[in-house]
Amino acid sequence: MVFYDQESRLDRVMVILGYNFQTPSLLSDALHVAGSVLITSDGRSLKEGNKPLAGVGDRIIGLYIVEHAYREGLTIGETSQQVQVRASNECLSHVFDNFYLEDKIFKNPCQPFQLSTKTKATTIEAIMSLDSAKALFVSARVERDHLAELMLQLGQSLW
């Protein structure tokens, strides 16, 4: 097993993924599995590790798959099947393994050995949530604000 300091670990993950994250502190959060010691950059303690970020990432991954399926003209049934297969823990676990991330994450000290399929998938979901969610929220806020303005013009309050 190879040990890295946090900054080196984050740098290595960004090199492996071929992507520089806008908010490296969130990448650190994404690399902490449940049960690992995690105090966020703003001083919060996350007892569930990367699971909260993974919840966002799960939806982002699903959204990407659905959007791609829509562009490809797939039916609702075909789209649902694509989401089930491509966003499955099994598939995401393979993504984790293909990037050789095992020694780059912060593990639960009580479980120092091989990671479960679920833990690997959760880590990929957490990583996927980072910049994707931020860009989506900025875009959604612009759309929401535009829609709210339109609704106000129509005499209704959206929020």
CATH of the domain at 23: 1.10.1520.10
Q: Are 38 and 29 in contact (CB under 8 A)?
A: yes
Q: Tell me whether residue 141 is in a domain.
A: no
pTM: 0.77
Q: Is residue 159 part of a domain?
A: no
- Residue at 32 is within a domain: yes
pLDDT tens column, 137-148: 555 555 556 555
Q: How many distinct structural domains can be found in the chain?
A: 1
Answer yes or no: are the C-beta atoms of 10 and 25 closer than 8 Å.
no
pLDDT of residue 109: 77
In this predicted structure, the answer to whether residue 149 has a pLDDT above a threshold of 80 is: no
Whether 158 is in a domain gets the answer: no
pLDDT digits (tens, 9 = 90+) for 28-40: 889 988 877 666 6
Give the CA angle between residues 66, 51, 96 to the nearest 5°: 65
Domain with 69, as residue range(s), is 6-133
**Average pLDDT of the chain, as a whole number:** 81
pLDDT for the residue numbered 157: 42
